[in-house]
Each structure stands twice: as C-alpha cells, then as structure tokens.
C-alpha cells in the first residue's frame, strides 16, 4: 500500500502561480487523513505558503505534510512551526555564471519578448529561475506563449552545453529552472525516503511535466511510480481514487 503521495505544484495542484482552489484544499485534507503528502516544485518557500499552506484548513495535519521548494533543493517539515532541514544554495560566482549564460542563450535562441510582467530572472538561493514573461504574467498569456515547450527546449539545448555542470529543466508554463547537478526532484525523493523512513516502493509521484527535460522527469530515476496528469482537475481524480482505495471497503488493495 502506498504511504506517501508526492505532488508537483504548478500545473498539478494549481494553475501557474495561483492558489489551490477550495475543492483541491478539501481533497488534500482528506488525503492527509490517510497518508503522508509531499509537494516538490520549482517555487520558493513563500510561493508554497501563498499557493497551498494558507488555504489548507487548520486540522493539525501539518506533521504529515513535507514541503520541498525549488525542485527539492530545500526541505521543510512541521514541528510546532515550519522548519527548514536543508538548502543546497549556489555560491555568488555560480549565480553570476548562470544568469550570464541564461541571457546569452535567450539571445542566441532569438526570442522576441515585447512585454513582461515583473522580473524575468529570480534568484531562489538554491535555484535560478527564468520566467519568460515575468514572474507576475497573467495565466492566459503564459499558457499561450509556449504550450508545447518548443521555445524553452531550444534554450535548454543551448544551456545544456554552456551550463553542463548544472541541471537545466523546464517547469510551469514559461519557466526554465537551473539547479546544482543531481540536486533535483530525484534528490528530494531520496531525502523523503531518508527523513520519513518510507521506501520508494511505498511512494507515488504525480506531476504534469514527466516528459524528458521536464522538471518532474528526474523523479523517474528513483523508480517511484509516476502518474502523468494534464491539469489540477485530473489530479483531483487521482486523489479521489487514492482516498477511496483506503476506505474501509477497499482496505488491503494496492493501487
């Protein structure tokens, strides 16, 4: 029986940069009643608080929830308050190199972005994230900009050469994430195994970017069962199925 469900955030639990809706909050609460839950995403801690934690009912279930911001390069657990267990941060020199090469790659790819909403490059300590239309771009604009990931894959190919000592993945609707090599969602899943003492075989990962090059893809390397979803609505159906399997009439059946 699976004991831990791991979720991506943007595109999986909520729309990009948006808060989870009331129905999703109820689904996550029901899931926390019967299993451990972890969320691994490219956003930093404030984004998790804004999108998820502020919208969950206060039912003393936080101890069963693990938060891994910036693609697993940070780990937070609840013990009377939220505490950071680790952060795999960049040095100043590494950040400088990443930002320079990001700008060079975008120029080489020939992107012509005429309008942005907020900063395009965000230093998240353990991750540098490029958001093509800016951090505060409207959801519709973001969805329409690169729906098949082709624009970002072109830049990713360039960066895989110029930043070969780092990990470059695609996430959300317009983002490119850069982290230290090997410090990604696979690393986060291994940390969950270590901290929670739950085996990989007892976990399931749910995400919308499990394709090669997507920022959910590294989770496949761990051997965890992975479920590809299209959007938060499909994620709700996955959660409903999981919770139903743990109801009295379904106990003893694996999913």
230 is in an annotated binding site: no
**DSSP characters over 170-222:** EETTTEEEEE-TT-SHHHHHHHHHHHH---GGGEEEEES--STTBTTGGGGGG
Whether the pLDDT of residue 250 is over 60: the answer is no
Q: What is the pLDDT of residues 166-188, one digit of tens each?
A: 999 998 899 999 999 888 999 99
Q: What is the mean pLDDT of residues 111-124?
A: 93
Neighbours of 63 (CB within 10 A): 12
208 is in an annotated binding site: yes
Ranges in the chain annotated CATH 3.40.50.1000: 4-88+182-250
The helix (run of H) or strand (run of E) holding residue 161 is helix 150-162
152 is in an annotated binding site: no
**Domain made up of 92-179: CATH architecture:** 2-Layer Sandwich (3.30)
Is 148 a catalytic site residue? Answer: no
Ranges in the chain annotated CATH 3.30.1240.20: 92-179
**Domain made up of 4-88+182-250: CATH architecture:** 3-Layer(aba) Sandwich (3.40)
What is the rounded distance in angstroms from the CA atom of residue 227 to the CA atom of residue 210?
8
- pLDDT band with cut points at 50, 70 and 90 for residue 24: very high
Q: Of these residues, 10, 44, 184, 216, which one is catalytic?
A: 10
Asked if 189 contacts 198 with a C-beta cutoff of 8 angstroms, the reply is no
Q: What is the pLDDT of residues 34-70, one digit of tens each?
A: 999 999 998 899 999 999 999 998 778 999 999 999 9
Q: What is the mean pLDDT of residues 131-152?
A: 94
- Higher-confidence residue: 84 or 249? 84
124 is in an annotated binding site: yes
Q: Which residues contact 224 (CB under 8 A, 6 or more apart)?
A: 6, 189, 200, 203, 204, 205
Q: What is the mean pLDDT of residues 191-200?
A: 97
Q: What is the pLDDT of residues 54-64, one digit of tens each?
A: 999 877 899 99
Predicted local confidence at residue 253, as pLDDT: 46
8 is in an annotated binding site: yes
Whether the pLDDT of residue 254 is over 50: the answer is no
Predicted local confidence at residue 248, as pLDDT: 53
- Own/partner contacts of 180-184, CB < 8 Å, gap of 24 or more, are 180/73, 180/88, 180/90, 180/94, 180/126, 183/71, 183/72, 183/73, 183/88, 183/126, 184/71, 184/72, 184/73, 184/215, 184/218
pTM: 0.85
Whether the pLDDT of residue 249 is over 60: the answer is no
Predicted local confidence at residue 87, as pLDDT: 94
Is 10 a catalytic site residue? Answer: yes
């Amino acid at each position: 029986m699976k004991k831990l469900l791991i979720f991506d955030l943007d595109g999986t639990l909520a729309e990009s940069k948006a808060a989870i809706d009331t129905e999703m909050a109820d689904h996550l609460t029901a899931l926390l009643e019967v299993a451990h839950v972890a969320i691994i995403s490219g956003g930093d801690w404030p984004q998790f608080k804004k999108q998820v934690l502020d919208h969950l009912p206060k039912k003393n279930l936080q101890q069963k929830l693990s938060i891994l911001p910036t693609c697993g390069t940070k780990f937070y657990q609840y013990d009377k308050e939220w505490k950071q267990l680790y952060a795999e941060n960049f040095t100043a020199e590494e950040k400088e190199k990443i930002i320079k090469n990001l700008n060079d790659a975008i120029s080489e790819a020939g992107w012509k972005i005429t309008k942005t909403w907020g900063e395009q490059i965000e230093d998240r300590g353990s991750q540098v994230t490029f958001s093509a239309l800016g951090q505060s771009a409207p959801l519709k604009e973001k969805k329409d900009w690169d729906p098949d990931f082709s624009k970002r894959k072109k830049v990713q190919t360039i960066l895989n050469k110029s930043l070969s000592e780092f990990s470059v993945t695609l996430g959300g609707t317009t983002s490119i994430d850069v982290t230290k090599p090997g410090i990604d969602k696979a690393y986060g899943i291994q940390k969950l195994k270590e901290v929670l003492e739950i085996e990989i075989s007892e976990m399931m990962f749910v995400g919308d970017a499990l394709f090669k090059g997507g920022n959910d893809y590294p989770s496949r390397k761990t051997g965890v069962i992975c479920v590809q979803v299209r959007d938060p609505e499909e994620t709700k159906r996955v959660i409903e199925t999981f919770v139903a399997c743990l109801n009295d009439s379904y106990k003893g059946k694996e999913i």
